[in-house]
Amino acid sequence: MQNTNNFNSSYNDFLDNSNKYDFHTIPMLKFFLMSWVTGGLWNIRWVYRMWKKVAIDYNYKVSPFWRSGFEFIFNFPLYKIIEKHANSHGIKFDVSSTWLAVIFILLCLFPTFRNPVLNFIVAVLIFTPSAYIQYKINEVNKKAYPDAFVEEWNILDTIWTIIGLLFRGSVKILTKIISKY
């Protein structure tokens, strides 16, 4: 019986038997727009979907819910899995997946500034490691799976945008209330 918690054996089995793409192609403009507008909520969904795909396709016993909830810890293995996937298709990472995960953690720990320009810069940079991972997924799909599903804008994205804007607005209001005391 195969050990389903051993990533390397299940990953190699998957590669040997795979004739379809693994991860969805997401246009980069949509990725950045949804990440920023929702204040990172959409990225949690993105991480959840990545882990769910890994759990199903690789028969890897993980909880996508908990892995997305603690993405600052679990981005290390997720990024490594996607890097191996890309390497198996001849797509190389210019920056190692480990460094991307470290960059993500450091940006998460970055303090909030009173300066809105610095906050905006950190808010954009925090999505860069995940965006790079998605960019590499898109490259794999373009090279190996030209008919791969492209996730265009849909009604769920509109709902996520509204939720994100409400979330961002409520955080700003709470921050102002707390700063008065």
Q: What is the pLDDT of residues 67-83, one digit of tens each?
A: 988 888 889 999 999 99
| Predicted pLDDT of residue 175 | 67
Flag the least confident range among 22-26, 35-39, 118-122, 156-160. 118-122
Residue 18 has pLDDT above 60, yes or no: no
Q: What pLDDT, on the 0 to 100 scale, is given for residue 1?
A: 40
Q: Would you say residue 97 has pLDDT above 70? A: yes
User: Residue 94: what pLDDT?
Assistant: 94
| Lowest-pLDDT choice from 27-31, 54-58, 89-93 | 54-58
Residues sharing a CB contact under 8 Å with residue 137, sequence separation 6 or more, in sequence order:
22, 23, 24, 25, 26, 82, 85, 86
- In the predicted structure, residue 19 carries a pLDDT above the cut 70: no
Closest to 18 measured CA to CA, from 133, 143, 145, 142: 145
* pLDDT band at residue 149 using 50, 70 and 90 as cut-offs: confident
Percent of the chain with pLDDT over 70: 80
63: which residues sit within 8 A by CB, 6+ positions away? Answer: 51
Average pLDDT, the chain: 81
pTM: 0.77
Residue 95 has pLDDT above 90, yes or no: yes
In terms of average pLDDT, the best of 8-17, 35-44, 91-100 is 91-100
Residue 169 scores a pLDDT above 70:
no
- Mean pLDDT across 109-121: 73
Q: What confidence score (pLDDT) does residue 159 get?
A: 87
